[in-house]
Amino acid sequence: MTQTAPRTALVELSGVGKHYGNVRALEGVSLEVHAGEITCVLGDNGAGKSTLIKIISGLHQHDGGTLAVEGEETRLSSPREALDRGIATVYQDLAVVPLMPVWRNFFLGSEPRKGSGPFKRLDVEFMRETTRAELLRMGIDLRDVDQPIGTLSGGERQCVAIARAVYFGAKVLVLDEPTAALGVKQSGVVLKYVAAARDRGLGVVLITHNPHHAYLVGDRFVLLKRGAMVGNHTRDEITLDELTRQMAGGNELDDLRHELQRP
């Protein structure tokens, strides 16, 4: 009987830790990110989610454990190196210029040019058409790519950022609380395009504090608390109720319930 060889993770963290002086920000955190899958990282404020993002995106280096990209152990020295290795991060406070049109923000920092010498100029037509086409490929049908990106809803701006990362060749997409400031309908829109990125073959890391959003799209779930990993499950190992219970504190919540009961 032929055995299938194990897949190499796009990104794999094993026992990763990070200290700032005497402060432990992360310790012993492990996770895997595979092509065509969504790994959800859950935790409250102060759980270590932001530190984890910074390590994966190359902003900070880990000082314990190992980080491997496509099977090669490495230490990412900068966000540019992470991008060059195919890891794109979309932060909660999107790096956009609100008054610039959607197409200009789509290519911000990577604007194609045409012509030569003193006649070299931005290829505006290419950027407009490419932006429109790439958004449509992700299922995003904007009214007008010439409209200022600041006129879009928060969910629409998140979707543009996701489409941009896909277009520029990301293999791994790290999303920092993309639904945190959104209502139910807009959150649904964003999760739809997160799933679209997964279906395009990207490995997605979804950082969130909402277990319901995570369970809608997630394949793997890593739970953090005070910098430590308190859970690591695949989808078939855990139910939404149990994920919510662990996220809410589990046994600590049961103890609190007993303390708060009327005598």
Per domain, the residue ranges of the chain are 11-97+171-260
pLDDT tens digit string along 107-138?
988 888 887 878 788 889 999 999 999 898 88
Nearest to 197 by CA among 233, 165, 240, 223: 165
Q: Could you tell me the pTM of the whole model?
A: 0.86
- CATH no., domain 11-97+171-260: 3.40.50.300
Enumerate residues 6+ apart whose C-beta is below 8 A from 106: 127, 130, 131, 134, 145, 160, 163, 164, 167
Higher pLDDT, 260 or 174: 174
* CB neighbours of residue 19 within 10 Å: 15
Report how far apart, in Å, the C-alpha atoms of 53 and of each of 13, 156, 205 are. 12, 22, 9
pLDDT tens digit string along 26-65?
999 999 999 999 999 998 888 889 999 999 999 999 998 9
